[in-house]
Amino acid sequence: MKPYIILHNSVSLDGSLTGFMPDMELHYRLAGSFEPDANLIGSSTVIQGQEMFGNRIPDEVPDDFVPPKRDSNLPWWIIVDSKGKLKGMLHTCRRFEYCRDVILLVTDQTPEDYIEHLEERKYRYIRTRGEKVDLQEALQLLAEEYGVKRIVTDTGRILANLLLDAQLVDEISVLVHPLIRGRDSYSMFSDVSSEVNLTLIREEKLGNGCVWIVYKPEYSNPHQA
């Protein structure tokens, strides 16, 4: 059985993921309330995070070549990176103290020098067939090999829309902020290929003007856990 997947994001009233500063403390507090075994992230989100905060990528040190010894109750960070875009950057993720460690999702067409890079640093990885990661297969293997039962993903639009198109999302959690981006809006769901019917399962008004809403997608041929 695949893990239960919760798509969580902070948006403007018109559904934009960008162009405003979300309430990050609230965003992550709500994400943590789901008590995930893992957080699913796209490689582009990692790169954008580095660019947003403008920090220089630190040099690797010997400790970056071994898995950290942290509380087993901490969530894994699952990163989709079939092209090897994060070569030379992954240690910045591994160093995050609230991350148990990183697991990469790659394919049999991922550059071999990137696979060697992962193995030299003892990163765990799951490899599926094809040019792009087969998300359904990878998620099933995460459940079987690492006991992952619940995943929260607060990544960007690309991965979120792929998960919805594959009917792999079990809940959609949205923290709506009190502003409208208008013409500059970067819509969270604009690349979803077809209509998705939703059932509201939670709504809560919060003190800073935000509203937290949680929906359950209703699929015609569900893969839901």
CATH number of the domain where residue 215 is located: 3.40.430.10
Tell me which of 89, 116, 148 is where a domain ends.
148
Share of the chain above pLDDT 90, in %: 74
For residue range 176-187, list pLDDT tens digits in order.
Answer: 999 999 988 889
Contact (CB, 8 A) for 105 and 86: no
Higher pLDDT, 158 or 127: 127
Q: Are residues 163 and 144 in the same domain?
A: no
Q: Are residues 77 and 44 in the same domain?
A: yes
Which of the four pLDDT bands, split at 50, 70 and 90, describes residue 191? confident
Tell me which of 115, 148, 181 is where a domain ends.
148
For residue range 9-33, list pLDDT tens digits in order.
Answer: 999 999 999 888 899 999 999 999 9
Give the span between the Cα atoms of 130 and 134, in whole angstroms.
8
Q: Are residues 111 and 185 in the same domain?
A: no
Q: Are residues 222 and 166 in the same domain?
A: yes
Q: Are residues 52 and 114 in the same domain?
A: yes
Total Cβ atoms within 10 A of residue 128: 20
What pLDDT sits at residue 224? 47
Which of the four pLDDT bands, split at 50, 70 and 90, describes residue 223? low
Mean pLDDT of 64-77: 94
Q: Are residues 162 and 199 in the same domain?
A: yes
Share of the chain above pLDDT 70, in %: 95
Q: Are residues 93 and 8 in the same domain?
A: no
Q: Are residues 88 and 118 in the same domain?
A: yes
| Element holding 30 (H helix, E strand) | helix 24-32
Mean pLDDT of 92-121: 95
Domain that holds residue 95: 38-148
CA 117, 123, 124, 126 torsion: positive or negative? Answer: negative
How many domains does the structure of the chain reveal? Answer: 2
Statement: residue 164 has pLDDT above 80: yes
Q: Are residues 60 and 111 in the same domain?
A: yes
Q: Sheet of 38-42: strands edge to edge?
A: 124-128, 102-107, 76-80, 38-42, 150-153, 4-11, 171-176, 211-218, 197-205
Q: Are residues 4 and 72 in the same domain?
A: no
Q: Are residues 112 and 65 in the same domain?
A: yes
Mean pLDDT of 124-133: 94
Tell me which of 148, 170, 185 is where a domain ends.
148
Q: Are residues 14 and 79 in the same domain?
A: no
